[in-house]
Amino acid sequence: MSDQHWSKTRAGSNEEALAYLRDRSQKPGVAEGGAARNMYCPSCQGVVPLSYDSSQAPTGEEKRCPHCDVLLDERVMEMFNWVEIDQVPGSDAKVVLPILALALALVLGLAWWLLTLFG
């Protein structure tokens, strides 16, 4: 192997990142082999069993940490070495519906006013 091979030219770099990953590999829920999908509580770093369908919007169901009882944000999941905050957002229909209803009422009111004016 040449001295220019990446494994030799990069030797000793990224030690901080490698130490972080080695440390995370010893965390509960990972050190045992990580058969079940887990996440970590952002408050106490306890293992929280995880089961969700990432293609579905959050249900709004309240979920608490089994270790410290802190309320967990269902859209934020601390995983092995990353934090997921990009879950599918819920529907905007509840926000848009009153605006659409008001716009429809205005259009109908305008139509009724024009009919009474010229009819």
> In the complex, which residues of this chain contact Zn ion (CB under 5 A)?
41, 43-44, 46, 65, 67-68
Between residues 46 and 58, which has the closer beta carbon with respect to Zn ion? 46
Q: At closest approach, how far in Å is the CB of 47 from Zn ion?
A: 9
> CA-CA distance, 110 to 118, in Å (whole number)?
12
Angle at 92 between CA 97 and CA 57, to 5 degrees: 140
> CA-CA distance, 68 to 100, in Å (whole number)?
43
Between residues 30 and 44, which has the closer beta carbon with respect to Zn ion? 44
Q: At closest approach, how far in Å is the CB of 29 from Zn ion?
A: 13
Q: At closest approach, how far in Å is the CB of 38 from Zn ion?
A: 13
Hey, what amino acid is at 51?
Answer: S
